[in-house]
Amino acid sequence: MSASIAADGLGVHFFFDRQHRVVTPALARVRRRGSDLWGIRGITFSIGPGEGVALLGSNGTGKSTLLRTVAGVLPADAGRLETRGRIAALLSVDAGLMPTLTGRENCVLLGVLSGLSRRAARRSLAALQERTALGDEFDHPVSSYSQGMRARLGFAVAEQVSPDILLLDEVHEAIDHDSRTFVEERAHAILRDGGIVVATGHDHALLERLCGRALLLRAGHVVEDGEFAQVRRDYLA
């Protein structure tokens, strides 16, 4: 199956209570909601096999909301979103890891939750331990890990399902150089295999190495879609 992402008029609506906490529409009515807004609205684009696409824009413009919607974490309230292929999302350094479990236990648990059989998840443990370069730390609780170690483990867990689409939300900026290199190498491997990488962050040098294309977001809308260098120049201007 060829990887692809297609959005047509995509929108996500947030509701807030009077304490400015995000709530469901039902709770917003009960608590006399304070305000509401569209996190993203009217977004249309398509991404095909082998494409790396960066999301550029200042904080609060909808980049993380868009990534979470593509990942399936947030439901779309308007428009249409279609994805083809297995998705792996690193939306935080912890990447859904359970801090009280060891690296090995997290690999089995998250592998099963991703759709692998318990046997298949266990069969991949030796390769995962080697890939993460955690050594004996692989059998220590994740709560004792550094951010870089957690990122490497989270990425390795995500790779268990052989993703066709990789989503990165500033994860590479919170980790050390070696871990950043690890993430970048794996992202390039996915692109070489005809997969898709969608990434956001403020390290534009890294984004340009991964992405030949960029979407520029302002106030929840895509205002430019084009070659990375040109979109970056327009964003900085």
CATH of the domain at 41: 3.40.50.300
Is residue 229 very low, low, confident or very high in pLDDT (cuts 50, 70, 90)? very high
CB 3 within 8 A of CB 165: yes
Is residue 162 very low, low, confident or very high in pLDDT (cuts 50, 70, 90)? confident
Can you list the alpha helix ranges (DSSP code H) found in the chain?
25-30, 63-71, 103-113, 118-123, 125-132, 147-159, 177-192, 204-210, 228-236
116 in a structural domain: no
Question: CA-to-CA distance for 75 and 152, rounded, in angstroms?
Answer: 28
154 in a structural domain: no
Residue 46 CA: distances (Å) to CA of 52, 57, 70: 12, 19, 12
Domain span at residue 231 reads 4-86+163-236
Q: Which residue has the higher pLDDT, 114 or 83?
A: 83
58 in a structural domain: yes
CB 52 within 8 A of CB 206: no
Number of separate domains in the chain:
1
First to last CA, the chain: 40
- Tokens 């309230």 correspond to what residue? 77
What is the Cα Rg of the chain in Å?
19
Is residue 203 very low, low, confident or very high in pLDDT (cuts 50, 70, 90)? confident
151 in a structural domain: no
CB 163 within 8 A of CB 136: no
92 in a structural domain: no
201 in a structural domain: yes
Does the model's pTM come out above 0.75?
A: yes
Mean pLDDT lowest among 15-19, 62-66, 167-171: 15-19
224 in a structural domain: yes
34 in a structural domain: yes
